[in-house]
Structure 1
Amino acid sequence: MASKISLKRFGTMPLVPVPRAVRAGDYIFTSSVYPADEAGRVVGLDAAQDEVRPSLMEIQARHCLETLKKVFAEAGASMDGVLKADVHLVDSADFYEFKLVWNEYFPSNPPARTTVEVGDTLPFHGARLNIDAVALASDSSLKREVLNDPEGADPIEAEGASHAVRAGNLVLCSGFTASDFKNGLAVGKRPGFPNYGSDAEMQAEYVFTRMNRVLKQVGTSLEEAIESQLYEPDLLTFHDVDGIWSRYMPLPPCRSSMGMKGLIVPGAVFVPNLTVLVPDEEHQKQESFEGIGWHPVKVRKVNFSPTLKAGQWRYFAGQVASPDFMSHHHSPPGLPHHYSNIEVQTRFLMDMLTRQLEANDTDWAHCHHARVYLIEPRRDYRGFMRVWRECFPDPVKSPALAFVPSTGIMFDGPLIEIDPSCVAK
C-alpha cells in the first residue's frame, strides 16, 4: 500500500484568502501569483512607459518570478526544483518579453510550462499575467528528470520550456501546440483544399504522437494520463480533438475542457495540459464513479473520468453546477437583481464536490490544489470569492488556488468550473 501523503500549508496571498503554497508529500503547489505587492497594488503601472525603460511585462514577469522564488523558499523548495508552471497572459503578444525574463530564472533544464492567453480579465486590474507552479521539495529523495523529444525539434529556443519533467511517479507535461518550434504549425489542411481533413484532428495526432515519444523514455504513455485540462480558443473543435483523445487515452484522465481567448501559436486549435502517471506496484490508475449520479461517456459521449485514484493521490474532473451533466443549477431567472447567480452556482458546486470527495476517501482538508475557471471573470470574481470565504473561513485551510479566466464551458448556463486535486485521508 502506498505511504500516506501529508499536507502542509504556507502563508496567505495578498487580498486573496488562500495559502501561498501547499506541500503534498514531496511536491509543493502554489496558488496563482500576481504582479502585486503585499498591499495588493499592481507593480509597474506608475512607472514611466517609454522605450528606454523595461517593458511593463518585463517588470511584472520579474515580480511574479521573484514572488514564486520567495514562496518556494518559504515552503522548502527552490527555483531549481520547479517542475512545471502554468502562465496566463492578458495578451499573447507579450510572450516574447515574458520569455526573456523566464529564461533568466531557468537558464538550463527549464521546467515544463503551459502558456495561454486569457484577455484583460485578471482580478488585479492592470496585471498582465498570473503564474502558478509546482516544485519538488528540496529535502525530497526524488530525482527531477527533464524529458524532451528524442526525434523532434528542441523546444528550448522557441518556448524556453522542456517537453516534460518527471519526479517520482508523476510526469508534468508542457501544454505545447502542434508547433515545430521553428516556423509555426507543423500540420494542417493543404492550402486550397479547405474541405479535406480536419485541422483539429491533424493537430491532435501530431501533439499526442510527440507526447508519447517523450513519455516512452520513462516507461509510460498517454494511456497513463491522470489529470488534464483541454484549452481551445473555439470549443467547436472539441469534438474532433476528443475523438483523437479517446484513442490515445482509452481510460481517460480527469479533465476540464475550457474555452480560452487565445493560444501563443497562430492557427493552433488546442493545447493539452497533462499530468501522467509512471505506474508501479503501489500506483495504479483506477477509475471511480463514487459520489456522482452520471458518467460523462454514457451521458454526453465525452472522454474523461470523473475521479481517478493512483495510490494516495485523488484526481477529480472539473465540475460545474449540474446535477445530471445535462442541466444546470441557477438562481431564479425572473429575479436577476435579487440573487447572485455565481454565488448560487458556486455553493451548489462546492456541495456537489464535497460529496464526491468524501465518497472517494478524501475531503477539502486533504485537497492540496484547485483550479478555478470563470467565464465572466470581471463580473463574477467577487461573488465567487464570497462563497470561497464561506467554505474556508480560515484561509490557511484552503487548497492552493489557481485562477484561470475562461471564455466558455462545454454547454450553456454554467458560469464556473472547479478542478480539485487531493490526497486520501
Structure 2
Amino acid sequence: MQTAATGMVLTASSSALAEEPKSNSESLNGAPQGVWPGGVEKPLMPYTPAIKAAGWLFIAGQLASDFETGVAPQARSDSDSPAEHLSLQSRFVMSNVEKTVAAAGLDMGRDTARIWQWMTSPNPTMDEFESGVNWPGIETNAHFSQRDKFLKSPGPSSTAMGVKALMVKDTLLEVDLICIDDGGQNVSFDATAQKPGSAPSVRRGDWVFLSSETWARDTKGKSTEQQANEIFEHLNSLATAAGSSLSRAVKAEVYIGHPSEYSGMEIAWKRWFPDNPPARVVVPYMGMTGGRGRRVEVALTLLANDSTKIIETIYTDKAPKPFSHEPQAVKVGNLLFFSQQMPAGSNGDLAPGMARHPSFPFYGLPAREQMRYMLKNVAAICEAAGSSLENVIRRVCFHDHGENFAEAMDEWAAHFPNLKPVSTSIVLGGPLVVSGAHTLLDITAYVP
C-alpha cells in the first residue's frame, strides 16, 4: 500500500502489506492498482475512483456531487443561466479529476490521452431522434473554457456527448478519462492542437487516439451511411498523419442517434473494416454537440505502425458470437478491449429468460438477470484471452432508463468482491438496439 498526502494506491492482491512505489518499467506491465485520492468525495456506489494497470490510468466518471446532498454546494448557483451552472460544475469536476490523477503520481495536463464528457440535456426528444435530429443544444463552451484550464498542449483526444440523465439529480456533467504512465508526452500532428484542450489526434508511445469525429463535407440530406463513410475517410487521414492506419485500429466507439441508424452505419463500417475489425461499441441516443445535421460520430484507439505490440482477435464459443461486424474482443499486450456487451444471442435478439413473462408482469428481476448473463459472457471472453473476470478494470454502463441502474449495479458489484472496476453510468432514455435490453456495457480488462 502506497500512501501520500494526495491519496493512496492499493494493489488488487493486497491492501494490507506495504509496498514500494513501482517504477515506470514495472507500471507498464503492472497488475491493477486502485487509487483512492484524498480530498475528493468518496463514490456512493461500489466502484474504484481510479485504477492503474499496464501503464494506463483509468479514471471513473466524476460528477459535481458531494454524494450526500446532491450537487455539491460549491458547484451550485442561484443564477438563471444554464451556462453558469455548467461552468461551476465543470470547475468542480475537473478539480477532482486533477486530484485523482495526482494521487496516482501523474499530471492530468501532461498525461491525459483520452477524455470523455457526458452532458445532460432534455434534447433531442425521442421524436427528434426518430426523425434524425440529434442536436442537444448544450452551451458546451461553458465546460470547455473550464476544462482547458486543466489541460496542456497538445490536449487529449476527446468525446463530448449530450445524454438524457446522470446518476445524481441536477448534475449536468460527467467526465472520465485515460492517462498514460510512460514518462513521455502527447504528440499531435494537427496544427489546430497547439493550444490547451482537445486534439483531433494524439500519439502517446505505441498508441494513437483519435477524437470523436462528426466530420463530413456537408451533412445536408446525407444519410447515416454517407456521413459515416466520410468520417472514416477523414479518420484514415488522421491516422496516417499520426503514423498509423485503420488496419491498426484496436477499439472503436460509434455514437448514433436513433437505433434505426445502426444499419446505415454498419454498411460503411464493413466497407472500411472488411476483415479483422477492431472491438466496437455502438451507443444510441447520443446528442451530438459537433453541429446540426450530424447522424454519427466515431472515435478510434489504434496502434502506431512502428509498434512491436501484437493485435490479437479473441474468440470463444462459450460466449455468443457478435450479431454484427465486430469481434468479441481484441487483446494488445496486457490490455483486453471488449466489443459491446448486451443480453443478446448471436442473432441480435434478447437472450431467453432475460425479460418478464407477459403473463407474469410483476415477477422477476430482468435488469439483474441481464447483468448476470453479460458478466458470464465477459468472464468466458476473459478466460479465452488468458485473464479472468476479476481483472476487469473499466466499465462504462449505458442504461435504457435510470430505474434499471440500482438492480444492475448491485449484481455487477457482487462479481467483484475485491478491486472494483472504475465506472461511468449514463442514462440514454430510450430502448437499445436489442429490443428488451436494459443495459449496454463497454468493458476493458487487464491480461496478466
State the TM-score bracket (shorter-chain normalisation): 0.7 to 0.9
TM-score, normalising length from structure 2? 0.81
How far off is 1:327 after superposition? 3.1
Equivalent residue for 2:7? none
The alpha-carbon distance between structure 1 residues 46 and 311, as it changes in their structure 2 partners (threshold 3 A), is closer
Distance 1:274 1:201 in 2: 18
Give the letter for the 1:362 counterpart.
S
Indicate which of 180, 186, 206 corresponds to 1:144: 186
The answer to whether structure 1 residue 422 and structure 2 residue 445 are counterparts is yes
In structure 1, stretches of 5+ residues that fail to align are 179-184
Residue 390 of structure 2 is aligned to residue 361 of structure 1? no
* Inter-partner Cα distance in structure 2 for 1:168 and 1:40: 42
Q: Corresponding residue for 2:112?
A: 82
Point out where structure 2 has 5 or more consecutive residues left out of the alignment: 1-27, 122-135
Change (3 A) 1:201 1:156: farther
SS at match of 2:176: strand
Shift of the alpha carbon at 1:38? 5.3
The CA deviation at 1:155 is 7.0
Selected match of 2:435 from 412, 416, 421:
412
Aligned match of 1:266 in 292, 299, 302? 292
> 1: CA distance between counterparts of 2:233 and 2:241?
13
Counterpart among 210, 223, 228 of residue 173 in structure 1: 210
**Residue aligning to 2:217:** 186
For the structure 1 residues 11 and 327, does the alpha-carbon distance in structure 2 shift closer, same or farther, using more than 3 Å as the test?
A: same
The alpha-carbon distance between structure 1 residues 164 and 292, as it changes in their structure 2 partners (threshold 3 A), is: farther
Match of 1:303 in 2: 325
Corresponding position of 1:181: none
Distance in structure 1 (CA, Å) of the matches to 2:83 and 2:244: 43
What is the identity, as a one-letter code, of the residue corresponding to 2:296? F
Change (3 A) 1:167 1:108: closer
Shift of residue 387, structure 1, vs aligned partner: 0.9
More displaced stretch, 165-174 vs 82-91: 165-174
- Aligned residue in 2 for 1:239: 263
Which residue pairs with 1:401 in the alignment? 423
Aligned to 1:43: 72
Identify the range of structure 1 (353-362 vs 364-373) with the bigger mean alpha-carbon deviation.
364-373
Specify whether residues 292 and 275 from structure 1 end up closer, same or farther in structure 2 by C-alpha distance, changes over 3 A only.
farther
1:321 counterpart (340, 343, 358) = 343
CA positional deviation for 1:321: 1.4
Render the CA deviation track for 1:352-408: whole Å, top value 9, x for unaligned. 2112211221113322212211111x21111112112212244xx111112232244
Deviation of 1:268 (Å): 0.4
Determine helix, strand or coil for the equivalent of 1:388: helix
Shift of 1:36: 0.8
State the distance in 1 between where 2:297 and 2:193 align.
15
Distance 1:359 1:352, change over 3 A: same
Q: What are the residue-to-residue correspondences of 1:55-134 with 2, within 5 Å?
A: 55-80=84-109, 81-91=111-121, 92=136, 93-106=138-151, 108-119=153-164, 121-134=165-178
Q: 1:331 to 1:294 in 2, by over 3 A?
A: closer
Alpha-carbon distance in structure 2 between the residues aligned to 1:43 and 1:125: 11
Secondary structure of 2:262's counterpart equals helix
Shift of 1:90: 0.3
Aligned to 2:21: none
Q: Distance in 1 between matches of 2:360 and 2:271?
A: 46
Aligned-pair distance for 1:114? 0.3
Cα separation, 1, equivalents of 2:55 and 2:385: 22
Secondary structure of the residue aligned to 2:70 is: coil
| Conserved? CA contact 1:232–1:270, under 8 Å | yes
Give runs of aligned pairs for residues 202-241 of structure 1, distance below 5 A: 202-241=226-265
Distance 1:126 1:384 in 2: 22
TM-fit CA distance, 1:63: 0.7
The 3 A distance-change label for structure 1 pair 113 and 408 is farther
C-alpha distance in structure 1 between counterparts of 2:153 and 2:369, whole Å? 47
Query: Identity over the aligned pairs, expressed in percent?
Result: 18
Contact 1:169 1:278 in 2 (8 A): yes
Q: Return the alpha-carbon distance in structure 2 between the equivalents of residues 63 and 129 of structure 1.
A: 10
Match for 1:188: what amino acid? T
